Structure 1
Amino acid sequence: FAELARECSIAPDADEGGFLGQYFGPSDAVAELVIAAHGLPVGDFTHTPVRTRDGYEVIKVLDATPVALVDVKAKLHRGIYLAKFVDERRQYVAALQQKFDVAFPAAGIDALVEAATAHKEAEGETAALAAITFGGDHVLTVADVQRFIVDNARLKGDPNSTGVIEILTSRVLSDSLLVLEAQSVGLDTAAEYTEYRDGLYRRMIVTFLRKRKVLEQINVSEQDVRQAYEDGKETFKKADQMNAREILVATRSEADAVVKRLGQGEDATALVAALSLRPGAERSEGHVHIGANDADRWGGHFDTVWSATQGTTVGPLETPDGFVVLFIEAVQKDQLRSYEDMRLGLTHRLKLSRQYAAFEVYIEELRQRYAERVIWHDDNIQTLAERPPWAEATE
C-alpha cells in the first residue's frame, strides 16, 4: 500500500506512503472518509474508492485504539435516548393523525407541486386552497405551508405529490397536530404552561433587544482575526506526537540484527512483515503512535523513545513481550497550527469577547437611565444572603 501511495498518490503525504500521521475520530476528517473507514478491520482497506472534493481516495486502516466506555457513555446515552424519542414521537404523531382525521386535498397538493416546479409561491385563489385539513375544525392553506415547499432541495429535479406530502408530514404536520392536541386537552391554559410561556416571552424580548442593540453592532474584520493569531501564535500548537514502525523479536541478538539491517537501509515495513512477533503486526505494518502521555506504556524507555528524531532507530528495548526495535518515521513537536486552522475559532472568540464588553457598556447605560425606577430592598437581600432559597432543597 505504501509503495503504491508513493508511486500513484497526488496527496501531500505521498512521499510518506500516504501515512496520515494520527488517529482519526468522527470529527477529525471529512464525513466521506469517516463513513468509509468506520468498521474496517485493522489491515483492511476501502475496496471502493471514496469520492472527496480532492479526488478519489483509497484508505487503509493501520491501527485502531479502543475507546473507554466512560469516555463515550454520555454520548451513547444521548444517542439512544434520541433514537427512542424519535420512534415514540413518530408513533404518537401517527395516532394523532388518525384522531384528527388528517387529509391532503388534491387541489392544494397539485398547487404546491406547481409552485415547486415554477420556483414561485402561489398567489390569490390558488394560495387560499386547502393543503392540509384536520377534520372540519382546522385547515392549513397553500399560503400557510408553501415556504416549506418552494425551492426545497429535496424536490429539486422532479417535484411530485408524494415528495410534497412527505415534506409537509415531516416539516408541518407534526407540530400542527401537537398544538391541536395541547389545545384539545386544555394544556394551553394550564398555569404551568402560561408561566413557562411568559418566561419564554420575556427571554425572547431580552434576546431580541440584545441582538438589535449589541450583537448587530459588532464587526470583526479579517485583519482583526489575523492580528489575534499573531498575538497568540505561540499558544496555538499541535499536540506533540511521534509515529514509528515497531519490530518485536524474542532475543537481543535478533534485535541487534534488526537494528543493523535498518541501518543498512532495509525497509522497516518489510522487516515488520518478515520478523515481528507482535499479533496483528503484518496487518498494521507495525505502526505505533506515541503521544506525550504514553509514558506508562513505555516505562523506563519513554525518555529514550521521546527524544528520538525522525529517520532514526531506537532500540533494542527490553519489554515484557520481548525486544523491541522502533524506526521513527515522523516526529511532530512544537508545530504551530496554521492561520487557516485557527481562523474560524478566533473569529468566534473575538466576537464573543467584543459582545460581552459591548453588552456591559449597554447595561451600564440602562442602569444609569433607569436608576430612579430601581429600588433595592436591603432587608430582603440580607434575608436571602443569610438563607438562600436553595438551602431548603439541600436539607
Structure 2
Amino acid sequence: GTQDVITLAGDQLMPAFRIQTLVMMTSAEGRLRVEGSHGSHPALMDRFDGASLASATPAARVLTTGVPEFYPTFTELERAYPAAGLRDAVAACAFLPLIVSGHAVGSLILAYDRPHLFEPEERALLTSIAGLLAQALDRARLYDTKDRLARSLQAHLLPQRLPVIAGLDVAARYLPSTRGMGIGGDFYDLIRLDDTTAAAAIGDVQGHNENAAALMGQVRTAVHASAGAPPDEVLARTNRLLTDLDPGLFTSCLYIHLDLAAHSARIATAGHPPPLLRQPDGQTDVLDLPPGLLLGIDPTSRYPTAEVPLLPGAALALFTDGLVEAPGVAFDDAVAELAAHFALALDQDMESVADTLVQYARRATPGTDDIALLLLNALGPQGADGYGSVR
C-alpha cells in the first residue's frame, strides 16, 4: 500500500543521503495532497498540503513541469520562491517529480537541516530513485483503491447489525486476515423467523480476495432466502445454486434452526467445523454432527440434520477455522482450547465472551486467515429481550 511505500522510502533514503525530512505528495482535484512523511519538520506538510497546482510553490511546479529542482541553500530557495514560507523548516532541499510513463503522479520533497551541495552524480541518482518510487507509488495507489473497494464490498455483504430476538443474547465478530487483500469469504448470519424461532448460519468461502467476498455474498443471500426450511433443505438448495454457478471455489457452511419455545436446535453442516455447546452449568462440548460435503461440489449432496437440546442458559459458539488454526497445533487440540475459554466465560454476556475469544485467537493464531464468530445464548426465564452487535 501507499503508506508501506512511504515508510520504506524513508527508512532507506534518509540515512543513505543524510536527509532530515521526506515528504511524498500527490495531486487530487487540482490540489496537492500529502500522502505521508518522515522526519523532523512537519511544517513542510502544513505548508504544501491542499495547495493549488497553480500556486507558486516548488512542490506544485515540479509536479506540473516534471523537472526536478535542487536548492543547496535556503537563500537560493527563497530567491526562486519568495513566498514559500520555509525559513524555519529547511536549510537545503530537493523537489523531485514522481513520473510514470511520462505522467506526473506526485512530487517528492527532500529537506536538510544544513546546506547541502547536490553533486551532479547525486542529482542523477536521486532523480532515478524518484522514478522508481513513482512506479511503486502508482502500483500502491492502485492496490489501495482495489483494497478499499473490496473491503467496502465485504462490509456491505456482512450484516450491519444483528436482529433483536426475544430470548437470545447474541454477539458477532469478523476479523480480516493479515495476508492478501485482507478480505475473505467468511460470513455469518442471524435471521428472525417468528416470535419463537430463528436461523443462524456461518460459513467460509475458499480464498482471500474479492472473488471470495463476492461469492460469500451469494452464499449468504441463498441461505437467507431459504431460511425457515429444514436445515438439510437450506443447504441442499444453496449447494445446487453454487454448483450451477460453478465459481471454482468451495464453501463450508453450518446452518441452525433455533426453536426457542421447544428449547431445541436442529443443525446441518456442509464441511464446516461443528459449533461449541456450553451447558448452563458450564460444561462445554464440541457437537458431534453427521458430516456433509462442502457446497459447490456435488449437486446431489445430502446434508443430514441433528437435533440437540438448547436449555435456558445454554450457549452456542459458531466459528470459522481462522479462530483456531495455528501451525504445529492439531485442529482438535485447538478447538478444545477454545472450548475451555468459552467455558470459563460462563458469567459473561455474549459481547464480553466474543471479546474474550477474539483475544485468545489473536494470541494463538498467526492471523493469516479471516475469522467469523457468532455467539448465541438462550436466556433463562429471567432474561430480557435479546440484543446484538457486530464488530
TM-score by length of 1: 0.20
More helix by share: 1
More strand by share: 2
Find the structure with the greater CA-based Rg: 1
